Amino acid sequence: MTTATFPVCQHFVPNKMQHQIQCVVINIYLIPECTNTFQADVMFGIHGIGGDSRVEVREFVKEIGGAFRAAPNVRIGLSENCNSAEIELQGFQEEDTFAVTVSQAMATSATATFNRVRLSYGRARTDVNRIAILIVAGEIEDFEMAKREVARLKYSSRVIVVGVGERVDVQQLRELSSYEDASDISHVFPVRNPESLTYVVRKILDLMCRESQ
């Protein structure tokens, strides 16, 4: 690995699905040894990241994606799902009814995020590596549906899963990730807090290079 300074363009899709591009400069980041030979379409899928955690996750994405900006044959995309809770003004006679309504309104769907990542590969190239990097916070509520969606994604893509926070379910992460056998956790990266994301950047870059050879 070497270091350098380059402008990095961050591609993201906000709630209104309007594509935006923001160019920033990362002072120093890792450049993988495979930069000149690496060929890939890389999609980031982000689910459940809110509050101050968004800052660290944004920097993490910029580090991973930015590392390949000098690569001549790498394309990068990103999809994020952040639903706004909305409950129509109404009366609630029972506490349980109110609790269920709040839970349903504030639930976020990982399935929708992973579906958009999978559909984005409809425009991907067939002669390069396809790598999806899924970043999730906490336990995935709609896990069975999300897992089925990712299973379809894995038909054509390699899936790396990063779990953020103490509430992540490592077993969920493993089932979503690509693996060769039941003991393989090479594509799973749980971190206890967003600040620790920086420590797995090198590991993920090395994995992307090694698995693409």
- pLDDT tens profile 128-153: 999 999 999 988 989 999 999 999 99
From 212, 192, 160, 207, select the one nearest 30 (Cα to Cα).
207
In terms of pLDDT, which residue wins out, 23 or 94? 94
What whole-number distance in Å separates Cα of residue 150 and Cα of residue 115? 8
- Express each pLDDT in 30-66 by its tens digit: 677 787 888 889 999 999 888 878 889 989 998 888 8
pLDDT digits 0-9 by tens, 64-109: 888 887 778 888 899 887 655 667 767 677 767 787 777 666 667 8
Q: Topology of domain 2-83+105-211, per CATH?
A: Rossmann fold (3.40.50)
Does the pLDDT at position 158 exceed 80? yes
3-state SS, residue 81:
strand
